């Protein structure tokens, strides 16, 4: 049997113990059998010898008295018949002095006469019986020989019985030993198996697994080590996952103007600190952001932290004034301080956790301050833009009215008419810029609204292209419209603004004139509009940023006037229709802008509001 093939340590131990017990049982069985066998043989010999001596002693007087041969024979027969056959005496014979048989009981195939030299001692017969001889002493010397045969049958049966009995006892012993070894294996290996199970459960992620440490054996100290290791691991993982979640919750909480003290409280719980937070290094700095375990500001703890922050130049852990302290200078003029009981100085691992959290908190607080001031600046800028745009809009409308009136009045004078037309074109351009600026401020404030209504792109495209043919006579305009319906629920004016932007860019960025092709087709539930030009084109890097606010591609486009708002506004309008805009372009070959508009926007509302980003 290959013991190493048994995978369970418990069954291996049981197998070893039972095997050892079997070897002992078999060995002692063999020894016992051999010694019993020998002693039973001796008994048979003794019995035969004793019988022969008794028979010789009894036969001696019969030979000594002058009996007739017949009487002697009859007496000898009687004597032989008195031998106790029940104790295993098998047979008897009396020989005369010449070695010839006088009496034989029971009759058997013994030779009638034998040399007297052979009628001595004992010998084993072929059937295992023992034959013993004794000399019948007369007055003058030996007068005959007595022989008694002791049967070995009873001895064999005794031996068999005792062998069976002892084998049964040994089998019972092996069984008892088997049960005992099971109990021993459980006693010895139970804790080991528990340890293996616990290690497996920790391996599969259950870090709350603990082992009983009841007694004081080596296994108990192993269990203690295991428990210490697992709780350290559990604590470390909790701290790491806390840090990971704090990394995202801190900036969000700051940004949303929430209270970060509950997060500092969680940190205190993780690290067992009585108080922690960000404190200013000098006067006039931001307010302390402090959490004390009693839920309010712990004055003693906080004043100690404020005092220690003054001299903190690098991350440090020490014990002072009956408290264990960790200070971490972070961004700006602030220091993170964690305070806990002096009996628990911060370990190296804990210092790492504190430093990590301190930086997260410090950076998030700093970012929040920056974000806040940036938001304020943006608000001021948006307000300024909005006011300026509104202020410009009114005089521009007036100028436009007058320039159109002038054009009509001076229509007969081609030179003056050209001047008036020029004024009109410049005012139109300025008005568009101001409108774009106004849209930008609307996006920022979340005040941009669409008015959805059933709209047909076909007449709109025809109108827009016709207008561009007039204002850009040097360019060639192709309009290719699909026969399928080009209708949908859209904001008519805003879509016209999209088309105007795309076509005016196509004209503007084809300074040497060229061909502008406008195509529209139905694509399932959407309508696709493509505006293609043969202008200067846009390189890949610029294509990535085209739709950003105030973005202008450099290079040849630098010479062409613009604010970098047209495509930004265009994309926001398309987005508000739940559509999509993309560009394909190659420098020197031209560009193609594709707008895809779902016929029915996902959420069909009468008004949609675009939030600022």
User: Which residues bind to ligand ADP, rule: CB under 6 A?
Assistant: 505-506, 509, 533, 535-536, 538, 546, 551-553, 557, 562-568, 591
Provide the minimum distance between the beta carbon of 542 and ligand ADP in the complex, in angstroms, as a whole number: 7
- Tokens 């600022």, residue located: 612
Query: Nearer Cβ to ligand ADP, position 294 or 480?
Result: 480
Cβ nearer to ligand ADP, comparing 275 with 535: 535
In the block, tokens 């410090």 appear at 362
Which CB, 457 or 567, lies closer to ligand ADP?
Answer: 567
Supply the minimum distance, in Å, between the C-beta of residue 383 and ligand ADP.
23
Separation CA 544–CA 323 (nearest Å):
56
User: Closer CB to ligand ADP, residue 230 or residue 504?
Assistant: 504
DSSP tag of 208: T
Residue 552 CB, shortest distance to ligand ADP, in Å, is 4
The total of other beta-carbon atoms located within 10 Å of residue 264's CB is 25
Q: Please list the residues that pair with 32 across neighbouring strands.
A: none
Smallest gap from Cβ 520 to ligand ADP, in A, equals 17
Alpha helices, DSSP H, located in 452-590: 457-471, 492-508, 540-545, 566-576
Which C-beta is closer to ligand ADP: that of 57 or that of 563? 563
In this complex, which beta carbon is closest to ligand ADP, that of residue 359 or of residue 551? 551
Query: Measuring CA to CA, how many Å separate 550 from each of 433, 436, 502, 546, 584?
Result: 12, 11, 16, 9, 20
What's the min distance (Å) between Cβ of 250 and ligand ADP? 37
H or E stretch at 109 = none
Cβ proximity to ligand ADP, 219 vs 536, nearer residue: 536
CB of 588 to ligand ADP, least distance (A): 11
Looking at beta carbons only, is 161 or 545 nearer to ligand ADP?
A: 545
Pick between residue 119 and residue 553 the one whose CB is nearest to ligand ADP.
553
Minimum distance of ligand ADP from residue 395's CB (angstroms): 22
- For the bound state, the minimum distance from the C-beta of residue 598 to ligand ADP, rounded and expressed in Å, comes to 24
Unique residue bearing structure tokens 């900036």: 251
Of 411 and 555, which CB lies nearer to ligand ADP in the complex structure? 555
Q: How far apart are CA 509 and CA 512, in angstroms?
A: 9
Instruction: Determine the Cα–Cα distance for residues 533 and 518; give it in Å rounded to an integer.
Output: 9
Alpha helices in 332-413, H assignment, sequence order: 348-409
Q: Give the C-alpha separation, 389 to 436, whole Å.
A: 9
Count CB neighbours of 308 within 10 A.
21
Compute the least distance from the CB of residue 283 to ligand ADP, in Å.
49
* Shortest-Cβ-distance residue relative to ligand ADP: 562
Residue 507: CB minimum distance to ligand ADP, A: 9
Question: Of the two residues 563 and 610, which places its CB atom closer to ligand ADP in the complex?
Answer: 563
Residue 210 DSSP class: -
**316 contacts 336 by C-beta, under 8 angstroms:** no
Task: State how far the alpha carbon of 80 is from the alpha carbons of 58, 59, 102, 152, 521, in Å.
Answer: 9, 9, 11, 20, 140
Helix (H) or strand (E) holding 511: none
C-alpha to C-alpha distances, 203 to 199, 236, 237, nearest whole angstrom: 6, 15, 13
**How many CB atoms lie under 10 A from the CB of residue 569?**
25
- Provide the minimum distance between the beta carbon of 416 and ligand ADP in the complex, in angstroms, as a whole number: 30
- Number of residues that make up the chain: 613
Q: How far is residue 202 from each of residues 218, 226, 229, 236, 531, measured CA to CA in Å?
A: 21, 10, 11, 14, 63
């Amino acid at each position: 049997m290959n013991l190493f093939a048994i995978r369970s340590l418990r069954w291996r131990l049981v197998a070893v113990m039972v095997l050892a017990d079997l070897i002992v049982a078999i060995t002692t069985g063999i020894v016992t059998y051999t010694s019993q066998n020998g002693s039973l043989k001796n008994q048979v010999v003794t019995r035969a010898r004793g019988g022969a001596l008794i028979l010789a002693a009894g036969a001696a007087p019969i030979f000594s008295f002058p009996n007739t041969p017949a009487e002697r024979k009859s007496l000898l027969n009687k004597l032989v018949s008195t031998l106790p056959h029940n104790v295993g005496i098998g047979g008897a014979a009396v020989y005369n002095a010449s070695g010839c048989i006088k009496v034989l009981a029971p009759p058997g195939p013994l030779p009638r006469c034998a040399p007297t030299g052979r009628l001595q001692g004992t010998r084993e017969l072929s059937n295992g019986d023992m034959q013993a001889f004794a000399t019948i002493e007369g007055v003058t010397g030996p007068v005959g020989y007595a022989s008694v045969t002791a049967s070995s049958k009873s001895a064999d049966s005794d031996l068999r019985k005792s062998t069976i009995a002892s084998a049964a006892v040994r089998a019972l012993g092996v069984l008892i030993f088997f049960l005992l070894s099971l109990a021993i294996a459980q006693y010895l290996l139970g804790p080991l198996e528990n340890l293996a199970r616990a290690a497996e459960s920790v391996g599969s992620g259950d870090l709350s697994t603990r082992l009983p440490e009841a007694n004081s054996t080596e296994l108990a100290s192993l269990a203690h080590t295991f428990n210490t290791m697992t709780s350290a691991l559990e604590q470390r993982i909790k701290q790491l996952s806390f840090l990971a979640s704090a990394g995202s919750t801190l900036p969000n909480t700051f940004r949303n103007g929430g209270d970060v003290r509950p997060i500092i409280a969680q940190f205190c719980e993780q690290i067992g600190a009585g108080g922690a937070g960000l404190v200013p290094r000098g006067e006039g700095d931001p307010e302390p952001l402090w959490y004390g375990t009693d839920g309010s500001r712990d004055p003693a703890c906080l004043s100690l932290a404020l005092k220690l922050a003054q001299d903190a130049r690098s991350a440090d852990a020490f014990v002072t004034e009956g408290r264990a302290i960790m200070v971490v200078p972070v961004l700006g003029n602030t220091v993170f301080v964690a305070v806990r009981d002096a009996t628990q100085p911060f370990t190296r691992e804990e210092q790492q956790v504190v430093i990590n959290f301190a930086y997260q908190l410090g950076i998030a607080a700093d970012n929040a301050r920056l974000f806040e001031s940036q938001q304020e600046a943006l608000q001021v800028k948006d307000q300024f833009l909005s006011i300026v745009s509104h202020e410009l809009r009114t005089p521009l409308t007036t100028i436009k009215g007058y320039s159109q009136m002038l054009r009509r009045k001076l229509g007969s004078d081609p030179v003056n008419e050209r001047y008036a037309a020029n004024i009109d074109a410049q005012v139109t351009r300025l008005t568009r810029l101001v409108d774009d600026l106004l849209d930008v401020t609307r996006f920022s404030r979340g005040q941009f609204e669409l008015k959805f209504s059933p709209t047909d792109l076909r007449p709109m495209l025809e109108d827009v292209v016709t207008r561009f043919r007039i204002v850009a006579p040097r360019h060639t305009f192709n309009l290719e419209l699909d026969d399928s319906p080009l209708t949908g629920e859209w904001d008519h004016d805003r879509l016209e603004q999209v088309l105007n932007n795309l076509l005016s860019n196509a004209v503007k960025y084809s300074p040497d004139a060229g061909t502008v092709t406008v195509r529209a087709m139905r694509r399932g539930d959407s309508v696709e509009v493509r505006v293609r030009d043969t202008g200067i084109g846009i390189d890949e890097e610029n294509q990535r940023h085209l739709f950003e606010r105030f973005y202008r591609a450099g290079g040849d486009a630098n010479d062409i006037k613009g604010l970098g708002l047209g495509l930004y506004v265009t994309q926001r309008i398309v987005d508000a229709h739940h559509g999509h805009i993309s560009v394909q372009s190659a420098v020197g070959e031209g560009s193609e802008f594709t707008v895809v508009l779902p016929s029915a926007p996902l959420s069909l509302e009468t008004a949609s509001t675009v939030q600022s980003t």
